[in-house]
Amino acid sequence: MINKVICETKRLLIREYTAVDGKELGAFAGKEFITRWLPDWIGAEEWATPWIKGKVMNGYKLNNPMEGILFYAVIEKESGKIVGNVGVHSFNVNEVGVAYFINEDYKCRGYITEAMQSFVEYIFSKFGYEYLITTIQPDNLGSIAVAKKIGFDYIETINIVDDGQIEELPFNYYHLENLNRQN
């Protein structure tokens, strides 16, 4: 099945998921490298396929991050493998946030930074948002480095209960302004 490609870089494709991607995504997304920062991905090996078939596919139909999630597979062109995940979703009532993670086997190659630079440009162009946010746990130095490289500015540390958590935890709140926005 051919999936809709939304972004392309020198080394990567960012495309819509299909149900057949669930096994490959779940195999790496449920590992401790991801779940220590994103506990809602615990057990992804079991639920990634139904999650894609339901929530992700519904997000593509809605095509509005304020109404549903828009998550995409990051594909290494050379191998055709899913190496990461990028997404956009509502945050609080009136903000839109981006999320991302990389398969541990592909870390430190610049892939997720490359993917996010392209993805953020796509989101700004498609939806015209004034700005995007991201929230990152203060000890997640890899994700913080990615956010800074693509231009996010640290605003403050906030306490939130994120997906998969049972208590409030501190998260760094970052902001990226759309410098190309037409008023």
In whole angstroms, give the CA distance from residue 38 to residue 163.
Answer: 8
**168 and 152 Cβ atoms separated by less than 8 Å:** no
- Cα(99)–Cα(86) distance, rounded to whole angstroms? 6
Model confidence, pTM:
0.93
pLDDT at site 176: 98
Name all domains of the chain by residue range, CATH numbers in brackets: 5-177 (3.40.630.30)
Tens-digit pLDDT string for the chain (183 aa): 457 999 999 999 999 999 899 999 999 999 999 999 988 899 999 999 999 999 999 999 999 999 989 999 999 999 999 999 999 999 887 899 999 999 999 999 999 999 999 999 999 999 999 999 999 999 999 999 999 999 999 999 999 876 666 788 899 999 999 988 765
Q: Where are the alpha helices (DSSP H) in the chain?
A: 22-29, 32-35, 44-51, 57-62, 111-127, 141-149
SS3 174: strand
Question: Is there a contact between 15 and 3 (Cβ–Cβ < 8 Å)?
Answer: yes
Q: What residues contact 116, with CB distance under 8 A and at least 6 apart? A: 86, 98, 100, 146, 150
Q: Residue 98: CB partners within 8 Å, gap ≥ 6?
A: 86, 87, 88, 116, 119, 120, 123, 132, 133, 134
pLDDT at 183: 58
Task: Decide if 63 contacts 82 (C-beta within 8 A).
Answer: no
Residue 183 neighbours by CB distance under 10 Å: 3
User: pLDDT at position 168, please?
Assistant: 84
- Are 122 and 170 a contacting pair, CB within 8 Å? no
* Cα–Cα dist 88/72, whole Å: 9
Q: What pLDDT is attached to residue 6?
A: 96
Spatial distance between the Cα atoms of 44 and 115, rounded to a whole number of angstroms: 22
Helix (H) or strand (E) holding 101: strand 95-102
